[in-house]
Structure 1
Amino acid sequence: MNTEGTITVRTATDDDWDAVALLDAHAFGEHQNAEDLAETQILTSSRHVVMAWDGSTPVGVAMHFPMSVTVPGGAQVEASGVSWVSVAPTHRRRGILRRMFTEQHRNLDAAGAPLSLLTASEATIYRRFGYGPATEEHRVVLDRRFAQFHPDVPAVTDVRLVESTEASALLPEIYHRWQRKTAGAQPKPPIRWERFFADRENVREGLTALFFMVHPDGYVAYRRNMSGDTKVVVQEFIAVTDDAYAQMWQVLVGIDLVDTIEVSQAPDEPLPFLLTNNRLPKITGHHDALWSRVMNVEAALEARTYAVDAQFVLDVEDPFLEAGGTFDVTISAGSATVTRTDAPADASMKLDVLSSLYFGTHRASRFAASNRLWSRDSDALHTVDLAFSTDRASVMGWGF
C-alpha cells in the first residue's frame, strides 16, 4: 500500500469486486453482468488487482491475468496479461495511473514472469511504461460474389459443417496445436471456451448465433447478417496448415445469400494470392492487437529463437522501472546467451521499442528510420534487423 495526499493505492480484497465493476463500466461503457464478473474472478484473483482510493471512494483499477504466450521459436513463456485498466473521470491528471502501474509492475517484476502483455484501448498511453505494439491485424472485406480461386489452390476435401455441440469437442484441440506454433498466441482458458460456446445474445451485436466449419487442421466460427448488407462476419479463423487455410476460405466463399465476408487477420496472410484477382480483398482497417513489455531482458531474449547467428550489444533504456541496461547478445544455432556488459553498444533503444521487436512483427530498420533506434553503423543495424526477424507475423490468440 502507498498513500500520497488523499489517494491510497493498495491490493484489492474480495470485498472490492463491485467497486472494480463500477469503475470498468464507467471507463468502457458496458455494464458487467454477474456472469462477466464471475468469469473474471476465475481468470484472476483479488490479489492480482491493484486499486486506487480517494478515502472510501474507488477511483482507479488495474489487474492482471496469469498466462503464458508462444514466442518466436515455439517456447511457451510465462506472462502477465494486464487488463481492466481505468481511472475514474472524476480523478484525471493526478498521476493515479502511474502510481497504480508502478505498484502493479513492481509486483509483476517480483513474481518473475519475463513478459507483460496487454491490449490497448488507446495507442498513446502505454509506451511510457515500456509497452510496444507486438501484433497487428488487418480488417479485410471480401466480396464473395466475384471471388474465384487460382486453379492451383487445393480442392476442398476435408471441411465439414458442424453444430455447436460437436464444435465444442473439436475446436479446443485444434486451437491448442495452432497456439503452440504461433508466436503471440496464448493458451485459451476453459472458462473462455465455455463463454465462447454459450454464445450469449449480448455478445452477438445484432448478428446470428455462431456457425462452425471444421477441418482436421483448422476451424472457422462465424456469424451472418441477413438484413441490410448481407454478410458473413468471421469471429475466429484458425488454420494450423496452409492446406486447411485454403480449403476453409473456399467454403466461406461458397456461402450463398450473402455478399461479403469480413475477417480480421494478420498482415501476411496469403488470401490475396489464393484468388485470381488479388485486389479483391479490401483492407478496411489496420490496428494493433497485442502489446508487450519485456520485464526481464535476459530471460525474455534467451527464451526466443533468432533468424541468424550473430553477436551484438544492445543498450536498452527503461524510463519506468529498472529493466534496462547494456546487454551482450550472442546467438548460436538460433539461441541467444544474454549477459550484462560494459561494452559499447551496437544499437540503442527504449524498452518499448525492444518490446515491439521481440515478437518479430516489427523490424529494427523501421524504428531506425523513425529515429527511435540508434545503431553504430548500417552493418550493425542490418544484423539486429535480421536477427529479430521471423518467417511469419505474430498473432494474438485471444483478447483480454
Structure 2
Amino acid sequence: MLVRGWRRNWQQRTKLERIDLYSRLTLSVLPWLFTLSWQLAPFDSDIRHAPLPIALGVALLLVSLVQCLLSNRNVRLSYAHYLGTAVLPRRRQLPPLVLLLVSLGLLATMAGVDGVTDSGLLVMTMNAPVAPAITQVLVTPVRTFLVQSLTVAALGVGVLAAVGVRGAALAGVVPTMLFGCVLTLIAVRPSAWSLAVMWQAEEARDLQARLAVAEERLRFGRDLHDVLGRNLAVIALKSELAVELAQRGRPEAVDQMIEVQRIARTSQQEVRDVVRGYREADLSTELAGARGVLSAAGIRCEVTGDVGDRLPAPVQSALGWVVREAATNVLRHGDPRHCTIRLRTSADEVVLLVENDGAAAADAGRDGSAGAGDGSGPGGSGLAGLRERLRVVDGSLDAGPAGDGTFRLIATIPLGPAAPPAGLGKPPAAREAPALQEERR
C-alpha cells in the first residue's frame, strides 16, 4: 500500500518536479554514501585495535553521521537559496562548521596517540569536509567556496602538524581534503545550475502563456470595441435627438427610434458573429495546433489523414473541438511520450482517433466520471462536453484505456444524406427557435 502511494505520488508529478525531487534525494544520499564508505573502512585495518583509538574512531563516525543529518536538513533550503526563492540563515551554517573543527580535532588526537595509519588518516581526512560542503557550495559563489576549501585544508595541515604528523601523510592532507571539496563542487553545483535553468524556462513558458491569454483578451476587447463603439455612439445621438423631437411633439421622433432599434439589432448580430468566431473550431487549425503544442512539450505527435473540403462545416467544427480537448488531456494527464492522431474519412462516416501512451495516471481523470474530464468545468469542457457536441451532429465518442498504459479516444460522425445541416454545428444555446430568439430580443 505504501509503495503504491509513492508510485501514485511520483506519477502525479511533472517531469521537472521529478528532476527536482531526484536532485534533492541525490544530495541527501551523497554524504551518507561517503561517510559509510570512507569512515567505516579504516576500522578494519587502519585504526589500531585499542580502546582509545577505537573510541576516537567511533566518536568521529558519530560526528560524521550528525553532519549527514544536518546536511539533509539544509538541502531543501540550500537549493531554495541557490534558486533565489529563500535565504539560508547563518545560524544554520554554524553547526556544520563547528562539527568540522571537532572532526579535525578528533583526527589530530587519533594521529597524536598513533591510533591510525597514514592511509586511514588520509581517507578520513578526505571525508571530513564533504557533508558541510554540500550545503556550503549552494550558498556561496564558486570562488569563495574554493578559498574556504583551501582554508580548511591549511587548517587541517596545521592541526595535524601540531601533533607530530610528518612526511607523506602531512603532504597528502591538502590534496585529499581538496579532493573531497572539489568532488562535492563538481557533483552539486552543475546539478543545481541545470535545475535553476529548467525552472526559469518553466516560469518563462508560464509567463508566455499568460501573456498570450492577455493578448487574446485585448484582441477580443478591440474587436468588441470596433463592433460596438460606433454603433453605440450613433444610438446615443439618435436617442437624444428622438427625446428632443418627442418633447417638441414632432412625429420624426418615431422615425429616429425605429432607426435606433435597427442599429441595436444590427449591433446584436455583429456581437453574435464575433463571439461565434471565437467559439467555432476549425479542424485543420486544431490539428496543426495540437501537433505544435505537443511537440513543444516534448511529445512526439503523428498526424495522419487529410481534412480537405469534403467535410461539412459543422462536422469539422465538432471534430476540431475533439482534437482541442484531446490534446489538452494529453498534456494535462499522465506522462506521454508519443501521441497519434488519425483521421479516416469514408462515404458513410468520418472517424477521428487520438491515442497516446503514458496514461497510467490519466485514467481517473479522463474516464468521463472524475477529474478534468468529467465535463463539469465551465464551458462544458471534458469528455461529457465533447459527447454533447458530437450528439448534435449524430456522432459518438468512445474513450478509455486500451491496455499497456495507452489511452484511446475515438470520435465517429456519420456522413452522406443523413449529415446534419450547417446550423446544427452551433452550440445548443445557439440553436433556439427563431420565434424564441425574437421574443428574447
TMscore range, shorter length: under 0.3
Hey, which of these two has a bigger chunk of helix by percent? 2
Hey, which of these two has a bigger chunk of strand by percent? 1
Mark the structure with the bigger radius of gyration: 2
Say which structure, 1 or 2, has more relative contact order (CA 8 Å, 6+ apart).
1
